[in-house]
Amino acid sequence: MKPKNLPREIYNPFTNRNRKGRFLLCKRLKLRPDNYLEEYCADLEVINIMAPIRPAEEAERCPQPSLSEEQEASEYLVARCKKIRTSDYMLFSSDALVHIASDSKASEKYTWLGERLRLTFKMMRSDSRLIRTMCHSHGLMQCSSKNPQVNVIWMGAPVKSVKMRELMPWQRLNQFPRSTELTKKDRLYENIERSKSIFGEAYDFIPEFYVTPRENQKMEIAFDRVLKEVTAAGGELCFPGEFIVKPTNSRQGKGIFFANSMADIPAEGPLLVSRYLKDPYLVNNHKFDLRIYVAVTSFYPLVAYVYSEGLARLASRPYDTSASSADSNEYVHLTNYSINKNSTSFVRNESMSSEDLGHKWTLGALLRYVENEGKDAKLLMLRIEDLIVKSLLSIQNSVATASRTTLRFACTNFELFGFDVLVDQALKPWLLEVNLSPSLACDAPLDSLLKTRLIADLLNLACVPLLDKKIIDSVTPALRKSMNASQDSETSDPDELELDPKCAKTLKRRPVGLKRSVLTKKIVSGNTSLIPNTEKKFDQIVRKVELEEGRRGDFIRVFPRNGTWGMYSPVMEDLGSDDFDERLFAEVITKKNMKNSSEQIATSSSSSSSSHSTFSSSAFSSMRIEEVSDLFHDVMMECSKYPSLADVPIEVREIISPWYEEASEYTKKITQDGETYASKLPTIRSTARLRTKSCAEFYEVRKVQMAKKKEAEAAAAKENEPVVLQAVAAKRVV
Ligand SMILES: Nc1ncnc2c1ncn2[C@@H]1O[C@H](COP(=O)(O)OP(=O)(O)OP(=O)(O)O)[C@@H](O)[C@H]1O
């Protein structure tokens, strides 16, 4: 948690005028103790010996800051250079983007480390400019999509599990196996519905739904029921429809329409037909939805973060459910930016001093609006966090099962999800969908500011190891051999695994900082399996979660945190005897609490009650933990009954009060009055656009293809021109 009374970190990624942020920036990118990687990979000796990065004399050669206006950021980097030996993971900062367009010496401060270690990245089925700019700004070289040996892999579409099996422990991939269970509309709804059938109303946060064509019968009954209900109440069917219909695999509002009867549903599917939420909370009489960014660094045990900055997307025309409305339905009832930007009423937010201008606001601006209306915006955010945690829990079993067979190493995967949430009149949040690769387009100043910080923080959470390519190359054969052996036979004898002689030779040269004891042990014995077993993986995850605490930037960890095990364990599926979630809670939360409060040690008598932790004695004595958990889920779902924190029963309030306090992060401003920000991402100067030969060739070919395509389009437009003109002229004559 950020220290109280300190301003939110405000700095401008495009001017490098770091206003109040220097102290916070250093804090935010806190470095770890010397032996971190050793601890982290204590069991994976092959990584252990790769920990040292950089000879001390090189730190002295590292570019020194000039005493210019950029001094503040430079000081931070000098500190970073000095400490670099103590940091084992790449530190990303949105500040780096300031220099990448100019030939400024200053950019070296950010790029030298990536270049020196020859770190690489590749992008597959994605060409996000933001990711490319961020990686190039930190000296990472872009490789062609075929290169298997890269440090960071950014995928824009689902990855095959066979590819995931090849991941090396130092690689980072922005996806978990089977996360499509969350990001395909029908699967998401079905997973949550399944959890609801097991755990009841705690999972009541998606609208009633049907998937065509397999649920056509049920849907017909639902249409009849709704018609009867409406006519019995003396009303009329809602305009534009009681149900909203979406293709299960489309996005950006494509193919959406409304339905009131079976006759409106086409035979071809699959389609997701869900109940239209006709009473949305309105902002200045406009419907809106929220885009919440969620990062997951582990699914089992679950480790989830919500970004404290997000977006509110407003419909461009006022909300109206009367059939007489002359306005186009899509601009009234759909809030997608991709649709509304085409409306003549759409107002772009080009200003940076204002977060609530036009039809795209920041999450903070929206929450401040809600607060001004006398509503409890922070409780709304706790409910949104709750639905996020439950959505992730609903697919935990699937992802954990797939991960067991797919992921050889812990900590290689992370994922960013975009949760779309609609808020109704009672301030109840409803989950509409979860996006696999949320848009990282930066076409307005707010987008650029928010998303550059988001991606820097996300990559910091991912913990990209700082390992020299030479060392990686030298140990890869041994590791591959070990991986293949374990693939051939799950029970392969680890004693048979030997380091590649070439690798051993490299190791004998002893990379700087390598502990002789480690080296000797490895070379002499050579009898440890290089693939960690489940228990070792768990230990690595525990250490990574501790590491993430110092690198999470503006992400708020929503699971695990104080009280979550007690509240959520009754609505979590049993995933076997590992009990990773409970054990992680005990390691990361209970132990910390015990350390912080010796009083708590005295009061927690049994180990089970201690794992439920943070209960105050008053709440714990009056109610059983299961009862408090039931009450908690009631509070999360029943928004009219508990509209503000003051209405929440004391037993639950005691647990959620720290979360509520932390939720003030969501309501803060991200911009600074009087400050101006770049509206677009910088163009990377050619010398900084590091690419491998094959990647450069690919981009050359693409450039030519794009130019040809443009030419063809222009030619086609020219050809059509007279026809259109003729048509217009003919119309006029008529
Ligand atoms: N059940 C619902 N009730 C009310 N409005 C809804 C409902 N479902 C969707 N909408 C509206 O329709 C819009 C598009 O829905 P949704 O986000 O599910 O589709 P999409 O095409 O996947 O959009 P994208 O992927 O671009 O976010 C939402 O932003 C929301 O305004």
Edge-to-edge strands of the sheet including 209-212?
209-212, 271-275, 243-247, 257-259
pLDDT at site 487? 66
Distance 432 CA to ligand 1 centre (A): 6
**Is residue 276 a contact partner of residue 634, using CB atoms and an 8 Å limit?**
no
Residue 95 has a pLDDT of 86
Out of 275, 336, 421, mutate this one to test ligand 1's pocket (max ligand atoms within 8 Å of CB): namely 336
pLDDT of residue 721: 62
pLDDT digits (tens, 9 = 90+) for 583-600: 999 999 998 888 777 555
Q: Which atom of ligand 1 is nearest to the CA of 435?
A: 25
Bridge partners, residue 433, by sequence? 420
How far is ligand 1, taken at its centre, from the CA of residue 553, in Å?
30
Q: Pairing relation of β-strands 415-423 and 286-298? A: antiparallel
- Give 105's contacts (C-beta < 8 A, 6+ positions apart): 63, 66
Residue 516 CA: distances (Å) to CA of 507, 508, 509, 567: 10, 9, 11, 48
Burial of 218 (0-12, 13-18, 19+ CB in 10 A): exposed
Alpha carbon of 323 to ligand 1 centroid (Å): 20
79 vs 399: which has the higher pLDDT: 399
Q: What one-character-per-residue DSSP string does 655-690 give?
A: HHHHHHHHTHHHHS--S-TT----SSPPPPPGGG--
Can you tell me whether residue 246 is helix, strand or coil? Answer: strand
Using the mean position of ligand 1's atoms as its centre, give its distance from the Cα of residue 306 in Å: 21
Residue closest by Cα to atom 8 of ligand 1 = 432
More confident: 440 or 55: 440
Assign residue 315 a region: left if phi > 0, alpha if psi is -120 to 50, beta otherwise? beta
In this prediction the ipTM stands at 0.98
Distance 651 CA to ligand 1 centre (A): 36
How would you classify the pairing of strands 311-314 and 303-307?
unpaired
Atom of ligand 1 nearest to the CA of 276: 3
SS3 295: strand
Ligand 1: which of 433, 434, 435, 439 to mutate, judged by most atoms within 8 Å of the beta carbon? 433
Model-wide pTM > 0.90: no
Closest ligand 1 atom number to CA of residue 336: 29
520 CA to middle of ligand 1, Å?
A: 60
Q: What is the mean pLDDT of the chain?
A: 80
- Where is pLDDT greater, at 365 or 475? 365
Contact in structure between 302 and 273 (CB atoms under 8 Å): no
Q: How confident is the model at residue 529 (pLDDT cuts 50, 70, 90)?
A: low
Name the DSSP class of 471.
H
Tell me what pLDDT residue 679 has.
73
Cα–Cα distance measured from residue 718 to residue 723, given in angstroms and rounded to the nearest whole number: 10
pLDDT at 605 over 90: no
Residue 264 has pLDDT above 70, yes or no: yes
Q: Is the pLDDT of residue 520 over 60?
A: no
Q: Is 517 exposed, middle or buried (0-12, 13-18, 19+ CB in 10 A)?
A: exposed
Query: Which of these, 132, 159, 679, 188, lies nearest to 403 by C-alpha position?
Result: 159
- pLDDT beyond 60 at 227: yes
Nearest residue CA, atom 29 of ligand 1? 335
286-298 and 311-314 beta bridge pairing: antiparallel
Helices (H) and strands (E) in the chain, counts: 31, 16
| Rounded distance from Cα 433 to ligand 1 centre (Å) | 7
One-letter amino acid identity for 681? L
Query: pLDDT tens-digit profile of 462-505?
Result: 999 888 777 778 778 878 887 887 666 544 333 333 444 544 44
Q: Which residues line ligand 1 (CB under 6 A)?
A: 207, 244, 246, 250-254, 256, 274, 276-277, 289, 334-336, 338, 420, 422, 432-433, 435
- Protein residue with least CA distance to atom 11, ligand 1: 334
Alpha carbon of 294 to ligand 1 centroid (Å)? 18
> What's the 332 CA to ligand 1 centre distance in angstroms?
12
Q: Of 69-83, 105-119, 524-538, which gets the smallest average pLDDT?
A: 69-83
